[in-house]
Structure 1
């Protein structure tokens, strides 16, 4: 799938492929033209992806080939044992979690999971968790705390499921309880926004010692489309809404709402999943080592102070 801003690059790459076929006879002039075109494509890619608008990054975060939570978990762990159920209602397939080993160290890995095809999307509810999903996540966090294992959460959701049945089972209470309990977890907590980070659905597993974002992810109280609908009563202004919401990784880091940005390969995470997974693994291990040097009390104090400082201004 090609996004609109990728089409000029794709056109040059198609031209390059044709030229490569012509260059098979070792014609020096053709080969020189091929190298020049390769440099032009690389320059265009850099210019394009370094200057993406907020809406373009939203589009990239939703790319159908973009890696999801389980893609990263299976890449970075040598084993993964998924745990199921909230022990109250059911096993929410939109929220997954379990123990996994990274370089000999055991972690509790939790995150929202979307689907690749229609059947999977229906089963995973498009990554929109019900209350039992958040209660399952909290149950797993408490297990990790009991066995003194660091927690890593992967955020990728268009929001918590807004259905009537979810509200009847206490969607707001489930998310609020997660926020409260995550502030007091005694083990290191690392939260990574890997795609979409919308509203309380994202925040419900995003209270951590370090909150990080992938370069082409977004994190906001509302999606650009819904923001446009509320302000202009139309989806037609979603691009303007994306800019006004300041939802990109650069914006969020500048506003001190996240702690860092994880770079992606040129073109997005889906262009080199293994490289992206290794980069995430490196960051997880480095950050865990840094956080493990602190006492649980110190980590909790810093965690609370960080979130309490958000939104505070002095005139």
Structure 2
């Protein structure tokens, strides 16, 4: 049998990071992708992470991390740091992958844009960064999950301002957050844009818990202030309020609607997802009403449920 002799890894690992600011320090979570067999030239045994303080050049730290780990967390003070990640096999070390963490906070205010994905993934574009860039990085993760579980990134060349992120990992009804960074010639990342969206929106998974307030002989107030629009399988666009009464007359602002069971009722549409209260007025004293409130996304309404009964008191 013929065995190929091992050689040192021939390529620097693909490295990226998340920086979170805490009082007095930066928490840097470093991630790297395993080298392909072609570039690993044998079994990777460990990764060396060298952290150098650029404001105090004499001080550097070495962290040795056994394979197959692909991330590590560093607590750094508010100085500028250069971080090198090197993959090692039994013969030697790979070229270093270099990232610079700036002393200045990078979390500048960037408006988040909503985007719509497709079955093919997400099509992203951004404005070019002024000045010299050596490339762009797009990173993404599940909006609701702990970031370490499914964090991914993609490197894009300096002359490109769009890319398609397609992966089998995108699931219907899950919201994904994307961040786009420009990399300067000094290897400092600058956050340019933030985007968020679903590859496929689904109808809401639950309805709000509704409170009845201020019940009078002619009106009552419905409110659902605690309803969270964040954890839904689509962007909540608003709410449908269904109302039934013996009179079968629809009140001003309400229109006639037919429910899935064929019964008739009145329906009012709220087009603002943050508007979580409604005064139902022009009611008769000592009358019986039923209501039901459900949110809607681009994919439809929340689950059908039973109506809640309300009786208005007499006028005295």
TM-score, normalised by the number of residues in structure 1: 0.19
Higher strand share: 2
Question: If the length of structure 2 is used for normalisation, what is the TM-score?
Answer: 0.19
Flag the structure with larger Rg: 2
The structure showing larger relative contact order (alpha-carbon pairs under 8 Å, at least 6 residues apart) is 1
Higher helix share: 1
